[in-house]
């Protein structure tokens, strides 16, 4: 029956559910029997997702997570969809490259699985193609990969090689699997150019120079060290020299060769190497029999090493990484790690015995394997730029936040890599449970060593050996003065760039008695201050009267998010892009409630046929309302009129028809429909006496405004009629009242001052002063080590008080690692964006002296460091770009790594305002000790 269904044509009109079941069964069978050499087909994600939704439209709704092909066939979407059209893979095709290539259809270089395409087993593709047709067809082979060659992967991007024939000067671009043999490449080249096998010699022609004669016909192209977009020289031999060349395995007749040496001005040498360094042996590569034997022996001893690969220059480590689409953040971090000498040495040797395959906190060794493989490729001398697709795929698998093609934070990636590599390489297979003991007055040295020993008992890896240090952390309870000292490990230091102890904050001040317009006030407060410091500064700045007080509120999306009434709230919880309002209200607190007046207007719509609802805008105004007597609708009208009186335009007398325009029930928000449900629920609350002041003899009548009161059931009471009716107020401390601003009403009032609520700190272009006054790295370190209170969300549980306390915290450096990573906190994070500080930090390249910053005074070791790498960030978040400056220690020379482009730079160019993450190595000096008297 199944075979009959599978063979039915597209015109047989299978139901969506029948299609789903057929493909699911085929996929399950195909996935269970996958093996090397199988064929998979690319299909555009757009079409595939549409088909998934089509065949699941009658099922329970799920989401597509890109995990298993068979699972996709049981996803669903509740909407009714039409049958998909023919398969259209055109969005995967790079038409421009395909036209220039002789190797058939070319796909875009930056495609990602799950985002741009899905891989289908051949059986699944055949069935879909039978039903829908279309194309173009994009087959890809399954190959073995990984260091152990046991992992199966689909080779989406086979090697793209440019074949050059001399002396004919013909050329052709081909696609060929890296698992094909050199012999297959020979045959393919001869077919393309109509040559005989005994007529040609094929050379690894990297950089347009002969590097190695490719005469081992059984070696794979991967083992032959060929890379994407590399040149291959097809040299047509003289008949007399053909046999000699192939028997000896090296060129003996350079003088008789028809190859003409290219001029040095046209050379393209990887990594920016000069011709004298990078290609000193390129014209006549001779591999003697003794060299071949030694290489074979080394390959057996170090099966995962690269010593048997023919070198293409005298120096390694100058290989770029292709940008796969906003992956500069990843490339810069990787280059710094692979150029850390301890890591380069470790991963180029056989580190596999240290992989912790069972660590539940790790990535079952896959991250370490992917990183190690990438590192060895980057250190192979003279390679062309590498596309780190396998590594990025592993990264996306274990850290989905770095998937896709969005820009990310290089430091966040670095932190993940260091932690992930540590867990993958943790030598501790079974972590013991160790309970930390309290210091109990013991010497710091004893307690610190105990903490470190406990840490090493659970965490022991190359990452710990190289990058981890130890803090001394001191907490002091503000109530009982309990002191707690712990010694915690760290992987890197995150240093603040603000060297000042004060902070500038802008707050808009509202006078709720109807006397003045709202106005912004900018004050200076302690950076680690409390809300009481901000309230005091604002009170002084706005000449607060003796019978008034300041009520602070944070405004989000035109609504009050929270009142900042606790004077001990830390100002560090208020971000620079927050919006604050300060309301001057009477000091009377007994039997009063806050009345929040929230402004609304009709949402603008480009389609005149659509009636838009009322949406909040501007800034709410807050006042006090007394509850000593019953509150009527008229009382609230009087109070709101007084609050809005400064906004009334001159000559803007309101007629009752204009003022009483109210929203219809349909215009109110979902939670709030017009009703008079509160009319009969009178209570004995008493209205504010302001209505008596405004309606006395001889006073003009109070305009009736379109007000809606939100009752305790979230229903809205229309306050524009029945002014004597008593309203039932919500039992909470806050009363919400909406005012709906019609266009006619806005002609009488100017609400502009309500709409321009500034940020606490507005970031603008970097001033000249900021650029010309550098900040010392030592100053940043001192700010990091300065004592300060914990933020409220990190409050400490005091074991003596038995309560959570906002303790003060002091950090000290106790033990420093061999490689010290320093993160400069250029980005200020908030809910909606990141601000970047362009501060120029003057950091030392040589002689970074940290001896005096170590709290462990019993240590006699001098703490001296030297910079060897750093990442840079240029521009703003989202549109910025990362690079790396790295010093090759073997050459004692600095290079700029900008994705695939590498260029030499002077040491004077290393320190810029773009520096983001710094990498320092401990200096091994003769003067290894310092006096304890310092």
Domain end position, chosen among 107, 140, 155: 155
Q: Look at residues 320, 225, 310 and name the one whose alpha carbon lies nearest to residue 272.
A: 320
The first and second tokens of residue 914, run together, are: 């773009």
Please, what sign has the CA dihedral across residues 588, 589, 592, 597?
A: positive
Question: Does one domain contain both 566 and 710?
Answer: yes
Rounded CA separation 282/303 (Å): 27
Q: For the domain that residue 584 is a member of, what is the CATH number? A: 3.10.20.90
Question: Does one domain contain both 443 and 461?
Answer: yes
Of 219-233, 253-267, 910-924, least confident by mean pLDDT is 253-267
Question: Does one domain contain both 146 and 175?
Answer: no
Assess contact for 103 and 160: CB atoms under 8 A: yes
Rounded CA separation 353/339 (Å): 22
Distances 95 to 1, 105, 109, 139, 760 between C-alpha atoms, Å: 43, 8, 12, 17, 50
- Comparing 663 with 578, the larger pLDDT belongs to 578
Does position 331 have pLDDT exceeding 60, yes or no? yes
Is 422 part of a structural domain of the chain? Answer: yes
Does position 379 have pLDDT exceeding 80, yes or no? yes
pLDDT digits (tens, 9 = 90+) for 714-759: 888 888 888 888 888 878 888 899 999 988 888 888 888 888 888 8
By the 10 Å C-beta count (0-12 exposed, 13-18 middle, 19+ buried), 655 is classed as exposed
Angle at 805 between CA 855 and CA 539, to 5 degrees: 100
Does position 271 have pLDDT exceeding 50, yes or no? no
Q: What is the total count of domains within the chain?
A: 4
Assess contact for 893 and 272: CB atoms under 8 A: no
Does position 169 have pLDDT exceeding 80, yes or no? no
Q: Which domain holds residue 41?
A: 16-54+85-155
Of 312-316, 749-753, 780-784, least confident by mean pLDDT is 312-316
Q: What is the pLDDT of residue 253?
A: 30
Residue 499 pLDDT level (bands cut at 50, 70, 90)? low
- Comparing 674 with 704, the larger pLDDT belongs to 704
Whose structure tokens read 């709101």?
640
Percent of the chain with pLDDT over 90: 24
Is 331 part of a structural domain of the chain? Answer: yes
Q: What is the pLDDT of residue 640?
A: 92
Angle of the 341-348 helix axis to the 366-379 helix axis, nearest 10: 100
Question: Does one domain contain both 558 and 638?
Answer: yes
Assess contact for 119 and 342: CB atoms under 8 A: no
Of 371-380, 652-661, 670-679, 788-797, least confident by mean pLDDT is 670-679
DSSP 113: B
Residue 28 pLDDT level (bands cut at 50, 70, 90)? confident
Does position 667 have pLDDT exceeding 50, yes or no? no
Sequential DSSP letters for 730-776: PSSSEEEEEEE--HHHHTTB--HHHH----SS---SPPHHHHHS-EE
Rounded CA separation 817/511 (Å): 57
Assess contact for 875 and 531: CB atoms under 8 A: no
Does position 77 have pLDDT exceeding 60, yes or no? no
108, 184, 302, 881: the active-site residue: 881
Assess contact for 42 and 140: CB atoms under 8 A: yes
881 noted as active-site residue? yes
Rounded CA separation 680/674 (Å): 15
Query: In the predicted model, what is the mean pLDDT of the chain?
Result: 76
Of 128-142, 307-321, 631-645, least confident by mean pLDDT is 307-321
Is 751 part of a structural domain of the chain? Answer: yes
Q: Look at residues 157, 168, 236 and name the one whose alpha carbon lies nearest to residue 203.
A: 236
Rounded CA separation 126/29 (Å): 14
72, 211, 328, 336: the active-site residue: 328
Rounded CA separation 895/902 (Å): 7
Of 429-433, 583-587, 659-663, least confident by mean pLDDT is 659-663
Alpha-carbon 824 to chain mean position: 16
Residue 540 pLDDT level (bands cut at 50, 70, 90)? confident
Q: Which residues is 42 bridged to in the sheet?
A: 119
Assess contact for 355 and 368: CB atoms under 8 A: yes
By the 10 Å C-beta count (0-12 exposed, 13-18 middle, 19+ buried), 792 is classed as middle
DSSP 875: S
Give the residue-averaged pLDDT of 590-611. Answer: 76
Of 142-156, 456-470, 684-698, 843-857, least confident by mean pLDDT is 684-698
Rounded CA separation 372/347 (Å): 5
By the 10 Å C-beta count (0-12 exposed, 13-18 middle, 19+ buried), 88 is classed as middle
Angle of the 389-398 helix axis to the 328-338 helix axis, nearest 10: 100
835 noted as active-site residue? no
Q: For the domain that residue 90 is a member of, what is the CATH number? A: 3.30.2230.10
Rounded CA separation 7/914 (Å): 62
Of 38-42, 68-72, 859-863, least confident by mean pLDDT is 68-72
Does position 211 have pLDDT exceeding 80, yes or no? no
Question: Does one domain contain both 739 and 852?
Answer: no
Does position 292 have pLDDT exceeding 60, yes or no? no
Residue 856 pLDDT level (bands cut at 50, 70, 90)? confident
Strands 819-825 and 493-496: parallel
Assess contact for 528 and 570: CB atoms under 8 A: yes
Give the residue-averaged pLDDT of 361-390. Answer: 86
Domain end position, chosen among 214, 236, 258: 236
Q: What is the pLDDT of residue 605?
A: 58
Q: What is the pLDDT of residue 923?
A: 92
Rounded CA separation 923/934 (Å): 20
Q: What is the pLDDT of residue 59?
A: 62
Is 658 part of a structural domain of the chain? Answer: no
Does position 687 have pLDDT exceeding 60, yes or no? no
Question: Does one domain contain both 722 and 825?
Answer: no
Alpha-carbon 784 to chain mean position: 24
Question: Does one domain contain both 473 and 589?
Answer: no
Q: What is the pLDDT of residue 1?
A: 35
Whether pTM exceeds 0.85: no
Does position 570 have pLDDT exceeding 90, yes or no? no
Give the residue-averaged pLDDT of 508-521. Answer: 88
Is 714 part of a structural domain of the chain? Answer: yes
Rounded CA separation 709/598 (Å): 10
Question: Does one domain contain both 781 and 832?
Answer: yes
Is 684 part of a structural domain of the chain? Answer: no
Give the residue-averaged pLDDT of 680-686. Answer: 30
Does position 276 have pLDDT exceeding 80, yes or no? no
Domain end position, chosen among 179, 209, 236: 236
Rounded CA separation 55/16 (Å): 4
- Comparing 623 with 287, the larger pLDDT belongs to 623
Q: For the domain that residue 856 is a member of, what is the CATH number? A: 3.90.70.10
- Comparing 63 with 744, the larger pLDDT belongs to 744
Of 435-444, 549-558, 585-594, 830-839, least confident by mean pLDDT is 830-839
Question: Does one domain contain both 430 and 540?
Answer: no
Strands 469-476 and 230-236: unpaired
Question: Does one domain contain both 190 and 110?
Answer: no
Burial letters for 228-258: b for 16+ Cβ neighbours within 10 Å, e otherwise?
A: bebbbbbbbbeeeebeebbeebbbeeeeebe
- Comparing 670 with 181, the larger pLDDT belongs to 181
Alpha-carbon 233 to chain mean position: 42
Question: Does one domain contain both 712 and 795?
Answer: no
Quote the longest CA-to-CA distance of the chain.
125
Question: Does one domain contain both 406 and 434?
Answer: yes
Is 257 part of a structural domain of the chain? Answer: no
Does position 848 have pLDDT exceeding 80, yes or no? yes
Q: Is the preceding peptide bond at 167 cis, omega within 30 degrees of 0?
A: yes
Does position 279 have pLDDT exceeding 70, yes or no? no
Give the residue-averaged pLDDT of 770-782. Answer: 74
**3-class secondary-structure state, position 568:** coil
40: part of which helix (H) or strand (E)? Answer: strand 39-44
Is 444 part of a structural domain of the chain? Answer: yes
Angle at 366 between CA 361 and CA 372, to 5 degrees: 115
């Amino acid at each position: 029956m199944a075979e009959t269904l599978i063979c039915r044509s597209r015109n047989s009109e299978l139901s969506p559910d029948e299609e789903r079941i057929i493909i699911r069964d085929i996929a399950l069978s195909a996935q269970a029997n996958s093996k090397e050499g199988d064929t998979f087909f690319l299909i555009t994600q757009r079409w595939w997702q549409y088909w998934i939704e089509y065949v699941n439209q009658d099922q329970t709704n799920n989401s597509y997570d890109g995990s298993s092909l068979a699972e996709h066939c049981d996803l669903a979407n509740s909407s009714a969809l039409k049958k998909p059209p023919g398969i259209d893979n055109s969005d995967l095709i790079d038409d421009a490259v395909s036209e220039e290539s002789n190797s058939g259809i070319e796909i875009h270089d930056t495609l990602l699985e799950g985002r741009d395409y899905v891989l289908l087993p051949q059986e699944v593709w055949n069935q879909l193609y039978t039903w829908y047709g279309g194309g173009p067809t994009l087959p890809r082979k399954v190959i073995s990969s990984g260091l152990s060659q046991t992992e199966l992967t689909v080779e989406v991007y086979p090697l793209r090689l440019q074949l050059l024939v001399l002396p004919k000067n013909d050329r052709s671009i081909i696609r060929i699997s890296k698992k094909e043999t050199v012999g297959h490449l020979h045959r393919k080249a001869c077919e393309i150019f109509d040559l005989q096998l005994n007529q040609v010699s094929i050379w690894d022609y990297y950089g347009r120079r002969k590097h190695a004669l490719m005469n081992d016909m059984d070696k794979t192209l991967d083992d032959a060290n060929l890379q994407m977009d590399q040149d291959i020289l097809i040299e047509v031999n003289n008949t007399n020299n053909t046999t000699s060349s192939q028997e000896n395995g090296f060129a003996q007749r350079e003088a008789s060769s028809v190859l003409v040496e290219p001029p040095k001005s046209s050379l393209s040498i990887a990594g920016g190497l000069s011709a004298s360094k990078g290609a000193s042996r390129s014209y006549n590569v001779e591999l003697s029999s003794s060299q071949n034997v030694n290489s074979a022996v080394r390959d057996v001893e170090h099966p995962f090493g690269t010593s048997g690969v023919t070198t293409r220059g005298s120096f390694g480590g100058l290989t770029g990484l292709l940008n796969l689409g906003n992956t500069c953040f990843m490339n810069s971090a990787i280059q710094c790690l692979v150029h850390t000498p301890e890591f380069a040495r470790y991963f180029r040797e056989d580190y596999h015995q240290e992989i912790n395959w069972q660590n539940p906190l790790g990535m079952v060794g896959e991250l370490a394997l992917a990183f190690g493989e990438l590192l060895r490729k980057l250190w192979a001398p003279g390679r062309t730029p590498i596309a780190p697709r396998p590594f990025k795929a592993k990264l996306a698998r274990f850290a989905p936040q770095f998937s896709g093609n969005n820009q990310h934070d290089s430091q966040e990636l670095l932190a993940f890599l260091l932690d992930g590599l540590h867990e993958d390489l943790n030598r501790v297979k079974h972590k013991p449970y160790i309970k930390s003991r309290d210091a109990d007055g013991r010497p710091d040295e004893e307690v610190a060593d105990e903490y470190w020993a406990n840490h090493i008992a659970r965490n022991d890896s190359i990452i710990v050996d190289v990058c981890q240090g130890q803090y001394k952390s001191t907490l002091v309870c503000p109530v009982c003065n309990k002191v707690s000292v712990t010694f915690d490990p760290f992987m890197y230091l995150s240093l603040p760039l603000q060297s000042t102890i004060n902070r500038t904050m802008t707050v808009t001040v509202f006078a709720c008695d109807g006397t003045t317009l709202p106005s912004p006030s900018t004050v200076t407060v302690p950076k680690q201050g409390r809300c009481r410091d901000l309230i005091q500064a604002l009170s002084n700045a706005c000449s607060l009267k003796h019978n008034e007080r300041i009520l602070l509120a944070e405004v989000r999306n035109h609504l009050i998010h929270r009142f900042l009434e606790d004077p001990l709230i830390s100002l560090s919880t208020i971000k620079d892009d927050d919006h604050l309002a300060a309301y001057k209200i009477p000091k009377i607190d007994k039997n009063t409630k806050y009345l929040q007046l929230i402004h609304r207007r009709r949402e603008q719509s480009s389609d005149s046929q659509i009636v838009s609802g009322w949406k909040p805008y501007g800034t709410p105004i807050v006042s006090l309302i007394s509850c000593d007597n019953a509150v009527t609708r008229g009382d609230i009208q009087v109070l709101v009129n007084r609050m809005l009186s400064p906004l009334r335009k001159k000559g803007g007398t309101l007629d009752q028809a204009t003022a009483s325009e109210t929203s219809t029930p349909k215009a109110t928000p979902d939670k709030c429909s017009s009703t008079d449900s509160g009319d009969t629920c009178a209570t004995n609350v008493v209205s504010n006496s302001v209505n008596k002041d405004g309606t006395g003899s001889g006073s003009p009548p109070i305009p009736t405004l379109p007000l809606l009161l939100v009752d305790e059931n979230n229903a809205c009471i229309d306050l524009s009629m029945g002014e004597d009716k008593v309203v039932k107020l919500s039992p909470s401390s806050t009363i919400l009242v909406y005012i709906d601003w019609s266009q006619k009403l806005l002609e009488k009032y100017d609400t502009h001052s309500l709409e321009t609520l500034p940020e606490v700190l507005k970031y603008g272009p970097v001033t000249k002063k900021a650029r010309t006054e550098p900040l010392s790295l030592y100053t940043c370190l001192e700010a990091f080590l300065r004592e300060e209170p914990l933020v409220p969300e990190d409050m400490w549980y005091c074991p003596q008080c038995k309560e959570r306390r906002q303790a003060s915290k002091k950090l000290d450096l106790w033990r420093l690692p061999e490689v010290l990573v320093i993160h400069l906190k250029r980005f200020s994070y908030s809910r909606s964006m990141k601000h970047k500080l362009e501060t120029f930090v003057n950091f030392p390249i040589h002689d970074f002296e940290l001896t005096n910053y170590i709290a462990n005074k019993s240590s006699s070791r001098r703490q001296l460091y030297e910079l060897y790498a750093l990442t840079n960030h240029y521009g703003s978040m989202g549109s910025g770009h990362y690079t790396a400056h790295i010093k090759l220690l073997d050459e004692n020379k600095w290079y700029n790594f900008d994705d695939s482009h590498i260029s030499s730079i002077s040491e004077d160019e290393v320190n810029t305002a773009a520096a983001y993450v710094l990498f320092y190595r401990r200096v091994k000096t003769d003067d290894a000790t310092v006096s304890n008297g310092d």
